[in-house]
Structure 1
Amino acid sequence: MGSPRSALSCLLLHLLVLSLQAQVRGAAQSRGPGGPGRVGGLEDRLCAQRSGAARNLSDPAPSCPGEGAKEQSGRALPKVTQQHVREQSLVTDQLSRRLIRTYQLYSRTSGKHVQVLANKRINAMAEDGDPFAKLIVETDTFGSRVRVRGAETGLYICMNKKGKLIAKSNGKGKDCVFTEIVLENNYTALQNAKYEGWYMAFTRKGRPRKGSKTRQHQREVHFMKRLPRGHHTTEQSLRFEFLNYPPFTRSLRGSQRTWAPEPR
């Protein structure tokens, strides 16, 4: 048998090992999910900070469990707003003041202007300044939907179910409404509101093309807005009035501003 001193040292060493094991187990439990320890609370705070930064940076992957539902609910607001704007753009606005403009539509393919003739024919063979090429465009909604009619004949440009452009004296139908789409090349395309995906188009000879055979990237659907020859804008709302205000100088403190008279 050993001496009493060696047995006491072995007992103390065994107790020290047990205490260290107990501390390790306690730390592991405090790091677990939902643990009440200080380490778990610190991880929760860091996790919340990372998820907030991810939301600011539009990170699609949530940093912590349970953050995915919060991000989805926060991102649903822009979709709802876009849907509201889209729905309101499809409804005719009968209350707001309608904007009426006058211009010509220059066809990219024919090199001429769109005209509405008295025999209800529509083509893109008019020269600049032709009275039949003068078009009156009035807004239908607060968006970019418009109704186009000839200033000389008063007939509206519409589209039938076969995609053919026709002229009507009554343009209240949805087939007489077009959506103005500004393209990347600065040209404008007119898409029919009733037949989505069908555009107003003309061939190189100025003849109308069926809307069912048109696409947005085709040159036949590209137009440029031009004012008629000799036409000048007379709207008062487009004129700017400039006002001269006296300059201001900073005070000595820098927190208040005092007005100084103009030098003579």
Structure 2
Amino acid sequence: MGSPRSALSCLLLHLLVLCLQAQVRRTARRRGPGGRGPPVGHVGQGREDGPCGRGASTGRSLRNPASRHPGQGAKEQRGSSLRQVTQRVTVQSSPNFTQHVREQSLVTDQLSRRLIRTYQLYSRTSGKHVQVLANKRINAMAEDGDPFAKLIVETDTFGSRVRVRGAETGLYICMNKKGKLIAKSNGKGKDCVFTEIVLENNYTALQNAKYEGWYMAFTRKGRPRKGSKTRQHQREVHFMKRLPRGHHTTEQSLRFEFLNYPPFTRSLRGSQRTWAPEPR
């Protein structure tokens, strides 16, 4: 058996060998299988605490993988910025058709051909028709077929905005700032434009384009009611479109015409196609 000093020296030597082996393993693990990584002289900067009690903690490198692999962090950053740009372009390029129709419905259409219709407005409350008199008075006291009850409706936009004028007098139905219905010879103003709104009960309400929320309305006696006192659910603003008595629509001449062509037959395979005579 050796002396205690020799046994202590052997123990220290054994610990030194263990520390060197641990350092070599950490260095090989950092370099990876391809042999890449920091040089051996800089191993102590990222060394973990081992049995030898030497080196600094590598908590920062473990918490931040981008510090160990700068190229990978740059790739992730470029990928996230590319995704953000793609999402932004997708949002900008997707059209909102509903918003486009709403915006275009508020603009006067100067290019399309104007649609002109002729009908009467039957008031739900008075039970008679709206008429425009020669003295510029407007009421809902006309009978069916009255010449002053015949109205000409012109489209103002490609939507449902129209201008209404009397066929007999040529005066437009407009609304002033007090909500009163007046007749004008020049109906180019926005106060002479009404929006046709089809309600759930199949009646039609005419809302003024300039004074939003004000409707054309008549009382039970056929007198016009101020637009500031009207609401969409009231019976006074409900109308029904009716053709004048004895009026024939011009759409009859635009009906489809069916033409009789002889049946198509084929005599022989590979030969030319022939037309068979029409049976009588």
Q: Which of 113, 116, 140 in structure 2 is aligned with 1:100?
A: 116
The SS at the match of 1:124 is strand
Counterpart of 2:168 in structure 1 is 152
Q: How far 1:234 sits from its partner (Å)?
A: 2.8
1:11-22 aligned at under 5 Å gives the runs none
The SS at the match of 2:101 is helix
Aligned length: 194
- Within the alignment, does 1:188 sit opposite 2:204 as a pair? yes
The SS at the match of 2:250 is coil
Write the distance in 2 (CA, Å) between the matches of 1:184 and 1:226. 18
1:1-264 aligned at under 5 Å gives the runs 73=90, 77=94, 79=96, 81-235=97-251, 238-246=254-262, 262-264=278-280
Write the distance in 1 (CA, Å) between the matches of 2:245 and 2:252. 20
Higher CA-based Rg: 2
Letter in 1 for 2:214: W
Q: How far 1:248 sits from its partner (Å)?
A: 5.9
Q: Structure 1 residues 250 and 219 mapped into 2: Cα distance closer, same or farther (>3 Å)?
A: farther
The SS at the match of 1:84 is helix
Q: How far 1:125 sits from its partner (Å)?
A: 0.6
Q: Structure 1 residues 128 and 245 mapped into 2: Cα distance closer, same or farther (>3 Å)?
A: same
Letter in 1 for 2:99: Q
Write the distance in 2 (CA, Å) between the matches of 1:75 and 1:179. 31
Q: How far 1:89 sits from its partner (Å)?
A: 1.2
Q: Structure 1 residues 71 and 213 mapped into 2: Cα distance closer, same or farther (>3 Å)?
A: farther
The SS at the match of 1:230 is coil
Residues 43-95 of structure 1: CA deviation (Å, up to 9, x unaligned): xxxxxxxxxxxxxxxxxxxxxxx89x96995698453x222211211111222
Residues 152-193 of structure 1: CA deviation (Å, up to 9, x unaligned): 111100001111111111100000000111112111111111
Residues 191-247 of structure 1: CA deviation (Å, up to 9, x unaligned): 111111111111111111111111111111111111111111134663221223455
What is the root-mean-square deviation in Å for CA atoms of aligned residues? 2.9
Q: How far 1:249 sits from its partner (Å)?
A: 7.7
What TM-score, normalized to structure 2? 0.61
Can you give the 5+ residue segments of structure 1 that lack an aligned partner in the other structure? 1-65
Write the distance in 1 (CA, Å) between the matches of 2:161 and 2:124. 21
